[in-house]
A and B are shown apart, each in its own frame.
Chain A
Amino acid sequence: MPPASTRRWSRVARTPLALVAIALLVVVAALAVLGPVLWGADAEAVDTGNILAGPSARHWAGTDNLGRDIAARVLVASRLSVVLALLAVAIAVVVGLLLGTAPFLLGRGRAGRLVTAAVNIAVAFPGMLLALFFAVVFGVGATGAVMAIGLAGAPGFARLVQTLVSGVAARDFVAAARVAGVGRGRILVRHVLPNIAEPLVVNATIGAGTALLSFAGLSFLGLGVQSPSFDWGRLLYDGASALYLNPAAALVPGAAVLLAGLAFNLVGESVAKGLGVEGLGIEGLGVPVGSGRWVLPGRTAAPGPAHAAADAPDPADDVVLGVRDLAVSFRGPSGPVRPVRGVSFDVHRGESVGIVGESGCGKSLTALAVTRLLDDDARLEASRLHLLGTDLRAPQATADRRKLGTELAVVFQDPMTSLNPARRIGAQLAEVATHHQGMTRREAAARAVDRLDAVRIPDPGERARQYPHEFSGGMRQRAMIGMGLMGTPALIVADEPTTALDVTVQRQVLDLLSAVRDSDAVALLLISHDVAVVGEVCDRVLVMYAGRIVEDLPAAELATARHPYTRALVDAVPDMDTDLDEPLATIPGRPVDPADVPAGCAYAARCPLADARCRAQDPALVSDPHAPARRVACWHAGEPLPAERAVDLLVESP
Chain B
Amino acid sequence: MTELRFADVTVRYGRTTAVDGVSLLVPSGEIVGLVGESGSGKSTLARAAVGLAPLGGGRITMDGEPVPLRGRHRPLQMVFQDPYSSLDPRRTVGDSVAEAMPPGGSRAERRVEVQRLLELVHLDPARADAVPSRLSGGQRQRVALARALAARPRAVIADEITSALDVSVQGAVLNLVRELRRELGLSILFISHNLAVVRYVASRVVVLRGGRVVEQGPTAEVLTEPRHDYTRELLAAVPGRGARRSRT
- Give the interface of A toward B (CB within 8 A): 2, 171-173, 175-182, 190-191, 194-195, 281, 283, 350, 358-359, 473, 502-507, 510-511, 514, 517-518, 521, 529-533, 535-537, 539, 556, 568-569, 572-576, 578, 580, 583-587, 590, 649-654
* Cβ contacts under 8 Å, A511 to chain B: 242
Which residue on chain A has the smallest CB distance to residue B127?
A652
Given the interface pairs A190-B99, A584-B174, the reply to whether A172 lies near B86 with Cβ below 8 Å is yes
Q: Name 5 A/B residue pairs within 8 A (Cβ), A-sorted.
A: A181-B74, A359-B166, A473-B38, A535-B240, A578-B199
Given the interface pairs A180-B100, A190-B99, A358-B166, the reply to whether A590 lies near B136 with Cβ below 8 Å is yes
CB pair A195–B90 under 8 Å, yes or no, is: yes
Given the interface pairs A2-B134, A654-B172, the reply to whether A503 lies near B151 with Cβ below 8 Å is no
Which of B2-10, B19-27, B77-85, B210-218 contacts the other chain?
Answer: B77-85
* Cβ contacts under 8 Å, A179 to chain B: 50-52, 74, 77-78
Complex partner residue of B91 from A190, A350, A532, CB under 8 angstroms: A190
Among residues 16 to 49 in chain B, which have CB atoms less than 8 Å away from a CB atom of chain A? 37-38, 47
* Cβ contacts under 8 Å, A473 to chain B: 38
* Cβ contacts under 8 Å, B144 to chain A: 176
CB pair A172–B85 under 8 Å, yes or no, is: yes
Is B112 at the interface (CB under 8 A from chain A)? no
Contact residues of B: prevailing secondary structure: loop
CB pair B85–A171 under 8 Å, yes or no, is: yes
* Cβ contacts under 8 Å, B151 to chain A: 180-181
Given the interface pairs A175-B80, A518-B246, A532-B240, the reply to whether A583 lies near B175 with Cβ below 8 Å is yes
Is B107 at the interface (CB under 8 A from chain A)? no
Is B124 at the interface (CB under 8 A from chain A)? yes
Complex partner residue of A652 from B88, B96, B123, CB under 8 angstroms: B123
CB pair A194–B237 under 8 Å, yes or no, is: no
CB pair A578–B80 under 8 Å, yes or no, is: no
Among residues 52 to 85 in chain B, which have CB atoms less than 8 Å away from a CB atom of chain A? 52, 70-74, 77-78, 80-82, 84-85
Min CB–CB distance A102 → chain B (angstroms): 21
A529–B168 Cα gap in the complex (Å)?
A: 9
CB pair A503–B80 under 8 Å, yes or no, is: no
* Cβ contacts under 8 Å, B88 to chain A: 173, 190-191, 194-195
- How many chain B residues sit at the interface, stated as a range, is 35 or more
- Give the interface of B toward A (CB within 8 A): 37-38, 47, 50-52, 70-74, 77-78, 80-82, 84-91, 96, 99-100, 119, 122-124, 131, 133-134, 136-139, 144, 147, 150-151, 166-172, 174-175, 178, 193-197, 199-200, 223, 233-242, 244-248
Min CB–CB distance A577 → chain B (angstroms): 9
CB pair B51–A507 under 8 Å, yes or no, is: no
Given the interface pairs A175-B52, A574-B174, the reply to whether A521 lies near B248 with Cβ below 8 Å is yes
What 9 A-B pairs are tightest by C-beta distance, nearest first? A584-B171, A172-B86, A507-B237, A532-B239, A180-B100, A532-B240, A172-B80, A514-B245, A503-B237
Which residue on chain B has the smallest CB distance to residue A535?
B240
CB pair A180–B171 under 8 Å, yes or no, is: no
CB pair B245–A283 under 8 Å, yes or no, is: no
* Cβ contacts under 8 Å, A586 to chain B: 168-169, 171-172, 175
Given the interface pairs A283-B84, A572-B170, A586-B171, the reply to whether A176 lies near B237 with Cβ below 8 Å is no
A172–B85 Cα gap in the complex (Å)?
A: 5
Which residue on chain A has the smallest CB distance to residue B171?
A584
CB pair A283–B133 under 8 Å, yes or no, is: yes
A180–B248 Cα gap in the complex (Å)?
A: 56
Known: A191-B91, A568-B168, A576-B235. 5 other contacts (CB 8 A): A569-B167, A574-B174, A584-B175, A587-B169, A652-B124
A498–B100 Cα gap in the complex (Å)?
A: 35
* Cβ contacts under 8 Å, A191 to chain B: 88, 90-91
* Cβ contacts under 8 Å, B136 to chain A: 590, 654
Which residue on chain B has the smallest CB distance to residue A278?
B89
A283–B83 Cα gap in the complex (Å)?
A: 12
CB pair B197–A574 under 8 Å, yes or no, is: yes
A223–B222 Cα gap in the complex (Å)?
A: 79
Name which of B78, B169, B234 has the most chain A CB atoms within 10 A of its CB.
B169
CB pair A573–B242 under 8 Å, yes or no, is: no
CB pair A177–B99 under 8 Å, yes or no, is: yes
A556–B245 Cα gap in the complex (Å)?
A: 11
CB pair A178–B193 under 8 Å, yes or no, is: no
CB pair B242–A654 under 8 Å, yes or no, is: no
CB pair B239–A536 under 8 Å, yes or no, is: yes
Complex partner residue of B245 from A503, A530, A537, A653, CB under 8 angstroms: A537
* Cβ contacts under 8 Å, B175 to chain A: 583-584, 586
A179–B144 Cα gap in the complex (Å)?
A: 12
* Cβ contacts under 8 Å, A651 to chain B: 122
CB pair A574–B171 under 8 Å, yes or no, is: yes
Which residue on chain A has the smallest CB distance to residue B243?
A536
CB pair B248–A652 under 8 Å, yes or no, is: no
A175–B178 Cα gap in the complex (Å)?
A: 25
